[in-house]
Amino acid sequence: MTLTAVVPPRAATGETPAPQASLIVQGADATGIVAAVTSVLSGHGANIVSLDQYSDNPQG
Protein backbone atom coordinates (compact mmCIF):
# COMPACT_ATOMS: atom_id res chain seq x y z
CA MET A 1 0.00 0.00 0.00
CA THR A 2 1.39 3.40 -0.95
CA LEU A 3 0.22 6.83 0.11
CA THR A 4 1.32 9.42 -2.43
CA ALA A 5 1.58 13.20 -2.10
CA VAL A 6 -0.89 15.12 0.01
CA VAL A 7 -2.23 18.01 -2.06
CA PRO A 8 -1.81 21.39 -0.33
CA PRO A 9 -4.89 23.62 -0.05
CA ARG A 10 -5.44 26.18 -2.82
CA ALA A 11 -5.32 29.80 -1.67
CA ALA A 12 -6.94 31.31 -4.80
CA THR A 13 -10.58 30.89 -3.69
CA GLY A 14 -10.09 32.01 -0.12
CA GLU A 15 -11.58 28.73 1.11
CA THR A 16 -9.47 25.99 2.58
CA PRO A 17 -10.54 22.68 1.03
CA ALA A 18 -10.23 19.43 2.91
CA PRO A 19 -6.82 17.76 2.58
CA GLN A 20 -6.58 15.25 -0.26
CA ALA A 21 -4.30 12.28 -0.85
CA SER A 22 -3.91 9.41 -3.27
CA LEU A 23 -3.79 5.83 -2.04
CA ILE A 24 -2.47 3.11 -4.33
CA VAL A 25 -3.02 -0.49 -3.24
CA GLN A 26 -1.30 -3.24 -5.20
CA GLY A 27 -1.69 -6.95 -4.64
CA ALA A 28 -3.10 -10.23 -5.85
CA ASP A 29 -6.77 -10.32 -6.78
CA ALA A 30 -9.03 -11.55 -4.00
CA THR A 31 -12.60 -11.10 -2.86
CA GLY A 32 -13.09 -8.33 -0.32
CA ILE A 33 -9.99 -6.18 -0.95
CA VAL A 34 -11.98 -3.04 -1.79
CA ALA A 35 -14.35 -3.64 1.14
CA ALA A 36 -11.44 -4.04 3.57
CA VAL A 37 -9.64 -0.90 2.40
CA THR A 38 -12.80 1.23 2.41
CA SER A 39 -13.67 -0.03 5.89
CA VAL A 40 -10.30 1.12 7.24
CA LEU A 41 -10.59 4.49 5.50
CA SER A 42 -14.12 4.99 6.81
CA GLY A 43 -12.96 4.16 10.32
CA HIS A 44 -10.52 7.07 10.05
CA GLY A 45 -13.19 9.47 8.76
CA ALA A 46 -11.90 9.47 5.18
CA ASN A 47 -14.18 10.03 2.20
CA ILE A 48 -13.55 8.34 -1.16
CA VAL A 49 -14.05 10.84 -3.97
CA SER A 50 -12.90 8.65 -6.87
CA LEU A 51 -12.11 4.95 -7.19
CA ASP A 52 -10.50 3.15 -10.13
CA GLN A 53 -9.48 -0.48 -10.49
CA TYR A 54 -6.99 -1.87 -12.99
CA SER A 55 -5.78 -5.34 -13.90
CA ASP A 56 -2.68 -6.50 -15.75
CA ASN A 57 -4.33 -9.87 -16.44
CA PRO A 58 -5.24 -10.00 -20.17
CA GLN A 59 -7.74 -12.85 -19.48
CA GLY A 60 -9.63 -11.10 -16.71
User: Please, which contacts does 25-34 make with residues 24 or more away whose CB atoms are closer than 8 Å?
Assistant: 25/1, 26/1, 26/2, 29/55, 29/57, 29/60
Predicted pLDDT at 13:
60
Span 12-59, pLDDT tens digits = 566 777 778 888 888 788 889 889 989 998 998 888 888 888 777 777
| Torsion-angle region of 45 (φ positive above 0: left; ψ -120 to 50: alpha; else: beta) | left
Predicted pLDDT at 14:
67
Predicted pLDDT at 20:
80
Predicted pLDDT at 4:
54
Q: Is the pLDDT score of 10 beyond 80?
A: no
